[in-house]
Amino acid sequence: MRIVVLMKPVPDTTGQERLLPDGRVDRAASAAVVNANDEYAIEAALKLTEAAGGEVTLLAMAPANAPETMRKALAMGATRGVLVTDPALEGSCTLSTTRVLAAALRGLEYDLILAGADTSDGGGGIVAAGIATLLGLPYLSYAAKVEPADGRVRVHRISPTGYDILDAPLPALVVATQALGEPRYPSLKGIMAARSREIATRSLSDLGLDGSQVGGAVATTRLTGSRAPAAREATVVVREAPAEAARWVVDFLAARRII
Ligand X SMILES: Nc1ncnc2c1ncn2[C@@H]1O[C@H](COP(=O)(O)O)[C@@H](O)[C@H]1O
Contact 194, 75 (CB under 8 A): yes
Decide if residue 170 touches other proteins (CB under 8 A).
Answer: no
In the complex, the smallest distance separating the C-beta of residue 157 from ligand X, rounded to whole angstroms, is: 16
Residue 162 burial (C-beta neighbours within 10 Å; 0-12, 13-18, 19+):
exposed
Q: Looking at residue 197, what DSSP letter applies?
A: S
Provide, rounded to whole angstroms, the least separation between the CB of residue 252 and other proteins: 5
Burial grade of 208 (CB within 10 A; 0-12, 13-18, 19 or more): exposed
Least distance (Å) between residue 94 CB and ligand X: 6
Among the listed ranges 54-62, 152-160, 202-210, 246-254, the one in contact with ligand X (CB under 6 A) is 54-62
Spatial distance between the Cα atoms of 125 and 155, rounded to a whole number of angstroms: 18
Q: Which stretch binds ligand X (CB under 6 A): 70-78, 104-112, 115-123, 158-166?
A: 115-123
DSSP symbol at 39: H
Distance CA 196, CA 201 (A): 15
Build a one-symbol-per-residue string for 71-110: x at contacts with ligand X by CB under 6 A, - elsewhere: -----------------------x--x---x---------
Per CB under 8 A, 252 contacts other proteins: yes
CA dist 123 and 67 (Å) reads 21
| Helix or strand holding residue 149 (H, E) | strand 139-149
Pick from 143, 135, 145, 85: nearest CA to 110: 135
Residues in 24-53 that interact with other proteins by CB under 8 A: 25, 36-37, 40
Q: Least distance (Å) from other proteins to the CB of residue 21?
A: 14
Site string for other proteins, 123-142 (x = CB under 8 A): xxxxxxxxxxxx-xxxxxxx
Chain residues that interact with ligand X, rule: CB under 6 A: 6-8, 35, 37-38, 59-62, 94, 97, 101, 115-116, 118-119, 123-128
